[in-house]
Amino acid sequence: MTVGLIPDERVSALSNDEISRYSRHLLLPEIGMEGQAKLQAARVLIVGTGGLGAPLALYLAAAGVGTLGIVDFDFVEASNLQRQIIHSTRDVDRPKVASARDRIKGLNPNVTVVEYNTMLTSANALDIIKDYDVVADGTDNYQTRYLVNDACVLLGKPNVYGSIFQFEGQASVFYAKEGPCYRCLYPAPPPPGLVPSCAEGGVVGVLPGIVGTIQACEVIKLIVGGGSSLTGRLLLFDAWQMKFRELKLEKEENCPICGKNPVIHELIDYEQFCGLKPSHDELPVETISARELKARIDAGDRLQIIDIREPHERAIVKFPDAKAIPLGQIARRVDEFDPDIDAVFLCKIGKRSVFAIRALQNVGYNGKLLNLLDGVNAWARDVDPSLPQY
């Protein structure tokens, strides 16, 4: 178990008020006065204040972690409130870091909150992370996960990892000094579009609460020292079946950043690494806005409007006069398209529909292909407000 994360010179005695506040911790011999003083002296960076970051921030603040850094560049949306319990209805349209700060300070005014209302990038990650003892990764995309991992390895910091999707979650501690890193488990990201985000695939609201509190528990154990951490173990949770499983993780000796002969010595372009930047060989994907599509429909233009969403999604909101062809069927149903008529593809937010267009391009379809920018939600926002956004 990791010990010595908190330098002795930063640790100070608890006040009487703090003894009262944290008395239930002090009664635990595994934490006690010494462990609580370490929590008070600790500096933890939480990357993301969404589904995972919400319980992380709340429970670490309640536990008495002295300094919490929170990184997020997003704004609170109504759709966040189903699971991101650090925010409330009145916070909609506020920066997430501001909303999270207020909630943290309301829960525990003794906590120092450092806000980073910015995207974590290769340009700023090392400067932000270097001042913290532990990093808790609450992100929802691969490029930031690899960025957090690499920055933590280069700086020698433990990375408390969590991820969620639909009903399934994962948690581990990646600490290259003592075990494997994220790249040891996942040497390369999946192809773009293969794994939908929570915004596209959904997530049961309680799942991030469960996984995020597991992460918070791992952070506390790392700080106070003791117990058995998830270093070298991947915890898998299935909320629908209510089952936990565990996989043993080994340090990969050929890992490009933490192995015996590392080849990564600085942060890289993670969007390029994750395949999110189009290659020079790819044809460009043309877009059409919701208002432009409405104008063409009103003008009587002949169009093939293709809804690539799954049936349960189309049940939420139907797009008028669209033909339903799920994404996985696009390439094999190429004969159903007329290359003489412009085809417009749509999904929820205009991300998966790009992959439908790519699938047709890859099988040699030469008709004009257009992607509805921001998807069905843009149509509901800009053209037909009677429809729901989801």
Q: Name the residues annotated as catalytic.
A: 198, 347
Q: Are 166 and 205 in contact (CB under 8 A)?
A: no
State whether residue 160 is helix, strand or coil. Answer: strand
- The C-alpha atoms of residue 281 and residue 228 are separated, in whole angstroms, by 49
Residue-wise DSSP of 349-370: SSSHHHHHHHHHHHTT--S-EE
* Tokens linked to 40: 């008070």
* Tokens linked to 370: 């257009």
**Which long-range contacts does 291-299 make (Cβ < 8 Å, 24+ apart)?**
291/382, 291/383, 293/344, 293/372, 293/379, 293/383, 294/379, 294/383, 297/321
Contacts of 84 (CB under 8 A, 6+ apart): 49, 50, 51, 53, 54, 76, 208
How buried is residue 299: exposed, middle or buried, by Cβ count under 10 Å (0-12/13-18/19+)?
exposed
